[in-house]
Amino acid sequence: MRLSNRLPVRITRTAAIRGTVSALALLAAMSVMGCPRSTGRHGATDDARSLPASAAPSSSTAPAPPGPPGVVPAVRSFTAQGGPGWRPGAGARVVADPGGPLADAGRRLADDLELKADAGPARRGDIELALRPGQSGGPEGYELTTHDGKVLITGADEAGVFYGTRTVVQAVRSGGGLPEGTVRDSPDRPQRGLNLDIARKFFTAAWIKDRLRQMADLKLNQLGLHFSDDQGFRIASDSHPEIVSPEHLTKAEVRGIVDLASSLHITVVPEIDSPGHLGAVLAAHPDLQLRDAGGTVARGAVDIADPDSAAVVDDLIREYADLFPGPWFHLGADEYRALMSRDPQASYPRLAEAARQKYGPGAKVQDLATGWLNGRAALVRSLGKTPKAWNDGFFRDGVVTPDKDIEVEYWTGKELGARPPAEYLDEGRPLVNLNDEYLYYVLGEPNQFRYPTGERIHGQWSPAVVRGTTPVAAGQSGPDRILGGRFAIWCDKPDAQTPDQVANGIRLPLAATAQRLWNPAKPQQPWQDFAALVGRVLR
């Protein structure tokens, strides 16, 4: 909450002298009448700026709004207590060890509320941040207690305390302060985020950083960055500079994005989609292009029978694994053109022959593609990361089986992705929900896509609704099976919207997604009230 919109007051020298004389006269009169001169807790004013530096400031005397604080996502538990609550008063501070792990969260909260960050000890009117190892709620859980004019935020880990500070900021934006009582809050799903396609439409580092700040306020913790596709390759490369598009992020800009994300407890997940969606790479390496039996080029697809194709992609994975220090690397694996034909063996006999030579007489083109995926997954694993891939890169009834530790990012039930979510879950595969029925914001609305609405996500979607509109079985929908989800921006028609239009268009849908990932239960708050609250708390 910014408090810098007060109008300046111009005081002339004559007015100041008159004011001083009047004040002295009033003080003398008060002394004669026996009125106290104290401006302490029960005095005529609680403007702490008039107190000695050692005295305790107080928060605003106006009581905070009753009930749970108005925040998005809504807090999971609130226990009310009698009392006025807390508002940011003059002289209030954010107290955290300036050399400790919560120093950055403390400074950020102080900046958001225009308060002073201080080492403490905490006093009346302050917000104090503290770690409590072993506290319930997991690493992203927190406890926020408002009592006797002070606020205490604790958590087992830095992320939880940080999310507690976001609750404070939103509560001040929505209602001016915090009610008296205790919030106990933690997310239901470990992966909660936004997926951004910068390959087909370039977004600046500044625009991406604005989204990160918005994500942090919504307690989202994962940004998927799709930066390679047929239309562009958008991050500078040292290993293959020939593939980089004119409009791209420098590595310094990417490091700035990653550093900001880390400070906001957001992990950036890079995606180099292969063996399809590699048109920008193939523009510089046409010799790696896949062709069918008649010599026709398969758009965006590399020839996975050619070892040079793997060499180029592996160079890029190794290069960007260092640039993105998070625990995941997304391998794509969707919409490989050879497997989108009616008869892959007949249309692409060279791939079929390579599959048989490598995996035996019963192998098919899908097995060669699965071997490609497993090979890239093995590389990612050797670099200390967990592989992810789109669900239509996992095939049934093959000679080769996709590695079990590859996280399935389920987006479609169409075409190659016709396998229902239950099949992946029955195989014991971890799954992340990017249901294209609700969570796909596709620029230009091609292929029967429609811009998703926050109201529909708020009222109908949950992590269990992985495909279409029907949830998976209750026994398969827990956070240990469906790890979470991401709202996705895809730029199929990049000129259909400006970056500002995209930012405005995703505002409510992203907030609704954050709500359902934090707490999958159908929200008790009506949509109109939720939308109005988003307007007050989200900057």
Report pLDDT digits (tens) over 272-330. 999 999 999 999 999 999 999 999 999 999 999 999 999 999 999 999 999 999 999 99
pLDDT for the residue 254 = 98
Instruction: Establish if 94 belongs to a structural domain.
Output: yes
Q: Tell whether 13 is covered by a domain.
A: no
Structural domain that includes position 106: 77-185
Which one of 335, 407, 423, 427 is the catalytic residue? 335
Q: Answer whether residue 62 is part of any domain.
A: no
Residue 61 lies in a domain: no
Same domain, 325 and 255: yes
- Is residue 38 in some structural domain? no
For residue 42, the model assigns a pLDDT of 29
How far are the Cα atoms of 95, 229, 256, 453 from residue 249, in angstroms, in the given order?
Answer: 37, 15, 11, 30
Indicate the average pLDDT of the chain: 90
Note whether residue 90 is domain-resident: yes
Question: Do both 289 and 371 map to the same domain?
Answer: yes
- 452 and 332 share one domain: yes
The yes-or-no verdict on residue 483 having pLDDT over 60 is yes
Binned at pLDDT 50, 70 and 90, residue 48 comes out as very low
- Are 232 and 316 contained in the same domain? yes
- pTM over 0.95, yes/no: no
Q: Which of 151, 185, 219 is the last residue of a domain?
A: 185
pLDDT of 117 above 90: yes
**Structural domain count of the chain:** 2
Secondary structure element (H or E) that encloses residue 527, with its range: helix 527-537
Q: State whether 206 and 355 are in the same domain.
A: yes
DSSP β-bridge partners for residue 408 = 389, 431
Same domain? 148 vs 224: no
Mark whether 407 is an active-site residue: no
% of the chain exceeding 70 in pLDDT = 89
Evaluate if residue 410 carries a pLDDT over 90: yes
Model confidence at 18: pLDDT above 90: no
525 within a domain of the structure (yes/no):
yes
161 plus 221 within the same structural domain: no
The 10s digit of each residue's pLDDT in 161-203 is 999 999 999 999 999 999 999 999 999 999 999 999 999 999 9
CB 474 within 8 A of CB 487: no
- Residue showing tokens 């009117």: 125
Whole-number pLDDT of residue 15: 37
Q: Could you say which of 131, 162, 185 is where a domain stops?
A: 185
Question: Does residue 141 register a pLDDT over 50?
Answer: yes
* For range 397-420, the mean pLDDT: 94
247 and 384 share a domain? yes
Q: How far apart (Å, rounded) are the C-alpha atoms in residues 147 and 149?
A: 6
What confidence category does residue 41 fall into, taking pLDDT thresholds of 50, 70 and 90?
A: very low
Q: How far apart are CA 38 and CA 27, in angstroms?
A: 12
> Of the residues 185, 215, 237, which one is the last residue of a structural domain?
185
Tokens of 307: 């070892």
How do beta strands 181-185 and 142-147 pair? antiparallel
